[in-house]
Every structure is written in C-alpha cells, then in structure tokens.
Structure 1
C-alpha cells in the first residue's frame, strides 16, 4: 500500500521527509541495482511540495519533484556516489527552485563528473539563507559555489575530509567579495588548528557567515595547517573584520616553518589590517613577536586588545612588544595604541620579566597563571571532544 502512495500523484503534498537505513554504498551508473533507488516519486506530480528531505533515498535529480522547493536536503548514511546524475544537475535543480531558502547536501559525490567550467551566467539565489555542504566532493563544492550569486544574509557551512592529493581549501572563487557579499560582512574570524579538525569560522553581527571544517582521521599536520592559513587569502581583505583568533593544539610542538611560517602570518595580518582585538593561543613565538612595531613593520595598526596563551614565554619578550604599541613608543605617535594585554601562562612567563613587570606597563594587564598539569589535562579533554568543532548548522 505504501508503494502505491509513493507512486501516485500528490497534488496537495507540501512536505516530504524520508529516511532509508541502508549499509550499502551507492555504486554503478544507472542506480537500478542500488538499495534506496527510486526512479520517480509521486509520479513526478507534486505542485505544492516545498520541503523535501531524502536520507538514503536516491531520486534522479532530473525528476520534476525537485521543482518549486524552499528547502532541500539530500543526505546519505555513507559517502555515496549519486547515481545517473552530474554536478550540473544540482544547478538545474536550483534554477527550478528560485525561492529556495535552505540547501543541504551530505555524504555525496557525482559519478558522472563534469569537465565543463561553471556556467558563465551564474544563478542568482537571493532567497537562499543556509547552504550546508557536508563531506561533499571537493570539486563539486567548488563548482556549486562558483555557479551561484547570493545575498549578504546567506550562511555557508562546508565540512570536508582531508585528502592531501587535493587543494582542500581552494574552494572559493577568486572574486569572492562579488560572489559572496555575506563573507565581506565578517567581523569576527576564528582559525582553529585542532588535532583532527582544522577550521575557519567567519561571523558577522547577525551570526555565522562562513564555516569551513576539514577533518582528518589520521590527525592534522603542518601541511594541513599551512594550507588552511594560506587559504585565508581567498577570503579577501575583510574590511569589517575587528576580532581575530588563532589557536594551535600544542605550543610544545615545534611546527615546520616551511608550512606554518611567521612570513605567512605576517602576510595575512598585513591584509587584515582592520583588526582591533586579537587572540593568539599556543601559537609559535615568532607570531607574537611579529606584532612588535619596528621602523619597517607595523602590523594591525588598529589593535587595541591582545590575548596570548602559552605554556611559557621564554622565547617572547611581551614587555618589548607592548611598549612598542603604547604611548611611550615614538613609532605609535598619532596611531591607535594597545590598551589591554591579557596573558594566560601554564608554566612561567620567562626569566627576564615577571608578572609584576607586566603589570607596570602603561595599559590594562591581566595575567592568569595555571597549574601546568591541570591545564594539560583540560587541553587533552577539550581535543578529545572537539573533532567536529561544533560546526553544525
């Protein structure tokens, strides 16, 4: 009886959510031999359908059921090849749904890859508010993002598995400010280099605008971190950015200067010159030292607040950095001064400056000294539970 209803026209149906629990991964070209494959739903007649969610069920993207939708979710229990469909078919689906507000694709790839570039006339999706691409093929993500134009209200969530053979972070089009005006409204950027999950999160006053998370079962290495940091170039200058944080998993590890270099940090900070508040958590000492104003370098000229966190600061002279950015330094005359320094240290500051030395500096200073054993335990528990980094939509 259920099969009869699924095959019959449904002229009044407004929402349809279906889930098929199948342990088989999709394979083959036609889809006829794949569990969960349905050539057509409701005889292709669903004129009132607006909300469609299919999990583990394959309906060809050429079906008329993908018409006039405001919400579409295609998800699968395992990474699957969508039968008999090209990536360009997704764009045709979007064109048939001009009022679409929410699109989610999860664990999906297309077996008939398109060698053609994205359409020269992009599709304007001004009603789209949420775009979530979870474990979608890297090339398919890039094709979709390059094929649409959106409003500043859009929120983009991208989750990918690390594949060293692919340029994982090269997914945004070159003219990102024109294509995604939502990213240009970014006021806060968080870059997290956690073990097993690297992420970039851009937020505006209205909430998250862009999240990219790359997970790796084998753990992230310096190449992944370097690629992620390099990918910030594709986000543009972000003229509204005021708050920036960068978090490394462990500052007791010596990171490769080839992949995670102070030169790359300096390049990013020169471009992101509007930052007013910065947090550097377990970062290489060279990153913190780069904030010192010299006759040839003045990164983040609007910086007012700095938070730094490390096991120890033996290789960093915080007082020298602070004095170069306060009223006592000739280099800062007529410029924005650093007003607040917050320090969290797990072991000790260093042999040359004490907590009292920092508290005498001409700005507001907070120093938090922790027991190293307790901190290491807290950090371990944090990373054991942070593989997805909370990047769910």
Structure 2
C-alpha cells in the first residue's frame, strides 16, 4: 500500500468512444502528474489547450493516431504537455505532426511515425533527434515525407540497442539516407515496404559501405530459412533464424511480381547467404506468372544445400520441377518435403520416388541425400489414395 504522500503512476484504458471527450479528459487533468500512458485514436488532441500546456512528468507511453496525413505546421507548431515529458519512452504518432525539434523525441526506447508530412523537419534533423535517444530499441517510419535533401553530408548516429527497424513507403532518397546514417546493433531485424518497382529492383544503395548495410551483412549470417510469398501483383521475402522462427528481415514489394525475382535476388545476395540456407518456403507460386523452368534457374539453383523445402498453395508444376533426372538435380541434400494446400496425385508419388531412388545414379555418395520425410497438410486431390504409396517410400505425416 502506498504512503499517502507517495504518488503512483496510473495507466488505465478507456476504450469506450465518448462524444463529449472534452468533458471526459477534463475530469482526468487534475491527475496529469500521475499519467503513465495516454493512447488516443481519431481525436484532435490539439483542440485541448491544457494538454498542450500542462506537463506530464510521469508519462512513459504516448500513442496518438488520427485519420489522414498530418502536416507539420511552421507558423504555430504543435506542442504537447509543455514539452515536459522527461520519462517518455514509447512514442507513436500516426497522422499527427510534431516538429522533430520537440523535446518529446528525447530519451525514447521506441519511436513510430506514420502518415506525416514534415515541412521543415528534415532527415538530418531526424538523425539529431535519434542521437538524443541512445537507448532506442525500435524505430518505425511509414509513409513519412521529408523536405528534399540538398546534400547528403556526413550525418551519422550509432544506436547500439536498435534491434528493430521498419521502413514503409519512404521515397528512395529517404531510404538511402537512413541506410547510410544509422549504425544499429548487430542483431538488427529489418522490415521494409520497399518503394522499388519492376523497372528498378535495386533495394539497397550500392554506395553505402557503413551504416545499416554493413550491419546487415554481418547479422544476416544468422539467417537459415527463407520464405518467398507471391501475391497477384506484389512480392514479399522473409528471412528467419530457423523455419517458422523469428523473422530477421521482411521485405515487401507492393509493385513487383514474381518476375522481379530475377532482379531482386542478385541485389540481396551480398546481404543474405543464399548458398548457406537450409530451409526454403514458397507461397502462392503460379506457373501462369513464371514458368517452372525460369523459376528454377532464377531461384532454385541459388540454394544448393537446402534440406527442408515447403510448398504452400503453389501450382503442382513447381513440385514436378524438383524431380530427379539426368539433367536436373535440384536440392541434392533435400531430406524433408512439406506440402500445404497442394494437389496430390500420382505425379506427387513420382517426384518422391525419384528423390528416393534416382539421385545416387547422378551424384556420388555424400553429394546427394535421399528424401526421408514428407509432410502433407490440408492437401487435396488423391490424398487418401496415395497415402499407402508414399508410406512405402518415406516417413509420412499428414493432416
């Protein structure tokens, strides 16, 4: 129990929509020195003068989300809590623009900015704000527009604890600046909604020997599993420390289809150890978008030591592509094959049988491993009819 003179931090959630928010918040203002967390959605906080003036000395979490794009005001810039929030650690602003010169950007461990158009607050100013957050662990910038850069300069900040970075829908100049200006911790996890398109699939700036790219080259040696998700008009690539484990990087290309892999993968090769990956998962591949022969040349041959291959909701021809023949020996070390939401037929059995019995004819011992394990999950077609045949060849799990 607290002593009567002690002041407790309060953090309570009021999830009910209140039309008379002004009256509601007025009842809490006498306790503002005890606020520990404030999260508002679709409420214009700057209509309430007292929230701009009164300090919040114990506020640790501030999340404000509004509709549309928040534009930075230059004549009368927005301020909050008299710019006195000394304990603030978690700041999230969506559709709300507070100048980057504000003290609210100091001492943070988590910063998320989204749907903001800065007029005067520049990218170099952002770096200065980040320098005031030496313990920053998570940074997210999504649909944030900055003034045009006149020169790149030598802006640089070391953030030794930054282990998560998300960049979404930034222009290419902003992406390039951030990649060269920030040196994060070696275990950085990167999530990026890239602005590249089919005509320009260069993801990272080539002239960036330091900063984030240098860290990626070292930290991504921890990647052992890769996922490629094919969407109708988009593409995403996820690298994990193990199959279905922690995502170490996520790249989403909203304007690139499967055919862009021919340009994207070479650009990623300096940062992702394709030749060392042991697990590969492919989602939604459609032969109408890219032939299996072309996909094999572009993708399959980059993964020589894959031991686990998963195909999820792909057309059957992508499974046929790994059949062992005298001219095709993809994934010579493959031991486990996972099929999820895939069509099963006699062709499936033929692929498994070829990987069980044919590989040793074309590769010496030690350079080819026969398939040992097959997993079927939510598959369709001739599943029950083919189960006995598959069980004669390999260890089989199905559901």
TM-score by length of 2: 0.68
Match of 1:83 in 2: 119
Q: Does 1:278 align with 2:346?
A: no
Work out whether 1:289 is the aligned partner of 2:321. Answer: yes
Q: CA deviation at 1:340?
A: 1.8
Contact kept, 8 Å, 2:78 with 2:99, in 1: the verdict is yes
The answer on whether the counterparts of 2:239 and 2:248 sit within 8 Å (CA) in structure 1 is yes
| Match runs of 1:169-248 below 5 Å | 169-170=203-204, 178-180=214-216, 181-204=218-241, 207-215=246-254, 221-224=257-260, 226-237=262-273, 241-248=277-284
**Offset at 1:193?**
0.6
CA distance in 2, matches of 1:152, 1:291: 40
Is the Cα–Cα contact under 8 Å of residues 189 and 200 in structure 1 kept in the other structure?
yes
CA distance in 2: counterparts of 1:245 and 1:289, whole angstroms = 15
| Residues 197 and 298 (structure 1), Cα distance of their counterparts in 2 relative to 1, 3 Å cut | same
- Deviation per CA, 1:277-321: give whole Å up to 9, x if none: 111341573675356375x77544432112346446788851334
**Contact in 1 for aligned 2:293/2:321 (Cα 8 Å):** no
Q: Secondary structure at the match of 2:303?
A: helix
CA contact (8 A) 1:102 1:128 kept: yes
The answer to whether the Cα contact below 8 Å between 2:320 and 2:347 also exists between their aligned partners in 1 is no
Gaps of at least 5 residues in structure 2 are 1-25, 27-47
Question: SS of the residue aligned with 1:57?
Answer: coil
SS of structure 1 residue aligned to 2:174? helix
Match of 2:374 among 336, 341, 344: 341
Query: What CA distance in whole angstroms lies between the structure 2 residues aligned with 1:235 and 1:331?
Result: 30
Post-superposition offset of 1:61: 1.5
SS in 1 for 2:269: helix
Q: C-alpha separation between the residues in 1 aligned to 2:233 and 2:227?
A: 17
Question: Are residue 17 (structure 1) and residue 48 (structure 2) matched?
Answer: no
Find the aligned partners of 2:380 and 2:265 in 1 and give their Cα distance.
26
C-alpha contact (below 8 Å) 1:190/1:246 kept by paired residues: yes
Q: CA deviation at 1:199?
A: 1.6
Of 47, 52, 76, the residue aligned with 1:6 is: 52
Higher Cα Rg, which structure: 2
Change (3 A) 1:247 1:20: closer
The structure-2 alpha-carbon separation of the partners of 1:84 and 1:283, relative to structure 1 and needing over 3 Å to count, comes to farther
**Alignment counterpart, residue 104 of structure 2, candidates 53, 65, 71:** 65
Q: After the TM superposition, which of the residue ranges 84-93 and 161-170 deviates more from structure 2?
A: 161-170
Are 1:141 and 2:180 an aligned pair? no
Give the helix-richer structure, 1 or 2: 2
Matched, 1:103 2:139: yes
Deviations 1:47-97 (A, max 9, x none): 443332223221221333322222222223xxx432212223222222221
Per-residue deviation, 1:134: 3.2
Distance 1:300 1:153 in 2: 29
The runs of 5 or more residues in structure 1 that have no matched partner are: 369-393
> Aligned-pair distance for 1:263?
1.2
| Superposed CA offset, 1:128-185 (max 9, x none) | 2322223333442343233323334433222346744553744796787841244321
Q: Which has the higher contact order (CA 8 A, sep 6+)?
A: 1
**Take 2:132 and 2:83, find their aligned partners in 1: how far apart are those partners?**
14
CA 332–65 in structure 1, closer or farther in 2 if over 3 Å, else same: same
- In the alignment, what sits opposite 1:32? 74
Report how far residue 330 of structure 1 moved.
6.0
Aligned residues of 1:233 and 1:268 also touching (Cα < 8 A): no
Q: Distance in 2 between matches of 1:183 and 1:158?
A: 15
What's the C-alpha RMSD, in Å, of the aligned pairs?
Answer: 4.1
